[in-house]
Amino acid sequence: MTNFVNSQKRKATKFAALAAAGVFSLAGCVSPVAGPSGNYASPIGSAPVTSNPTPYSASLNCLATFAYSNNLRTPRVAVGRILDYTGKADLEGGRKVTQGASLMAISAFSKAGVNLVERFDTSVSELELKYANNKLIGDEGGPQFREIHAGSIPGSDFYLVGGITELNYNIRSVGAEAFVGDTDAMDLKGTGGSKLYVINVGLDLRLVETKSLEVVDVISYQKQIIGREISLGVFDFLNGNVFDVGVGERSQEPIQLAIRSVVERAVVEMTANLYGVEGPSSCLGADPLATAGETGNFTLVPPTIASNNAATRAEPGRWNDNRDRALKTALRGRQ
């Protein structure tokens, strides 16, 4: 009996030593003293910055190219507040849906080649105007103080307002679970399961003519979002040892990306009306000299220039010191 007890103690001691070694190996990634770089730990992750398109970004780019190719006058559009009216929030995590739908709409109009005027955040401009009015701001090479000229700020032809009006949980869900094994407690047994669930978001936007305040276009869209869970487990006794192994995967379509998609779809439809575009067939006559990127830029490329910084800003390796060979070569002498 004494030998058995001593054997169990030795096993427990070995297990404790292995666990301690594992803990100290993990602790080696964090130091209580800052290293030569000035940090206690190095952050993980090396994914490059990429563009953030939706399935409607290419259509926005098409509208920009269509307007340029046909010499259309693009109206001036201002984007106002597109607020969250769902009222959904977590006690710890905050709001469920993005508070930046207005910014998404600004990017979408830019992809479509629309002339934008700033009305969403004019705090800096108002402060500059206040300082200029008090003759506190001077421009280099000009008068001693900045002059204020009437009519120097262009007005908008239309403005966009609205809100996120729906966030519905669990519209429908379905799941299945299974347990496989015989009645012998020592034999192999397994479990498996799968779940699917659907939620949705909704958006209501209106386009208003600035001078008359007439609502010229109203759009209400919704998008469903799907999520899934998959699990698999195995339990067995093998040579006196217990094996309990489980694997699983959970994923959900991003809610905020779904809102961006709804916003871009609405902007596509409204801009098509402003341009007088009949439909997607208008993209067949695209002019290769006009390029609109997935990042919101619209650039008129002269025939003598094959590319420029605006046209290539969506490349994931651009300006990344680990991926851009040109940048590596340029910085080699300073590394």
- The 10s digit of each residue's pLDDT in 222-274 is 999 999 999 888 888 777 677 788 888 888 899 999 999 999 999 999 999 99
**Domain membership flag for residue 13:** no
Range of the domain at 290: 50-145+155-300
**Which has the minimum average pLDDT: 92-96, 174-178, 214-218?**
92-96
pLDDT in tens, 204-221: 999 999 999 999 999 999
Type of residue found at 133:
N
Q: Which residues of 241-280 are buried (b: 16+ CB within 10 A; e: fewer)?
A: eeeeeeeeeeeeeebebbbbbbbbbbbbbbbbebbebeee
85 found inside a domain: yes
In a domain, 117, yes or no: yes
Residue 18: count other Cβ atoms within 10 Å of its Cβ: 10
Tally of domains within the chain: 1
Most distant pair of Cα atoms in the chain: their distance: 101
323 is a domain residue: no
In a domain, 141, yes or no: yes
69 token code pair: 């190719």
CA–centroid distance for 75 within its chain: 28
Which two tokens mark 305? 């220039």
| Model pTM score | 0.80
Whether 294 is covered by a domain: the verdict is yes
The answer to whether residue 29 is domain-embedded is no
The CA distance from 82 to 13, in Å, is 62
Does residue 204 form part of some domain? yes
| CATH number assigned to the domain comprising residue 101 | 3.40.50.10610
The string of pLDDT tens digits covering residues 19-34 is 555 555 555 577 788 8
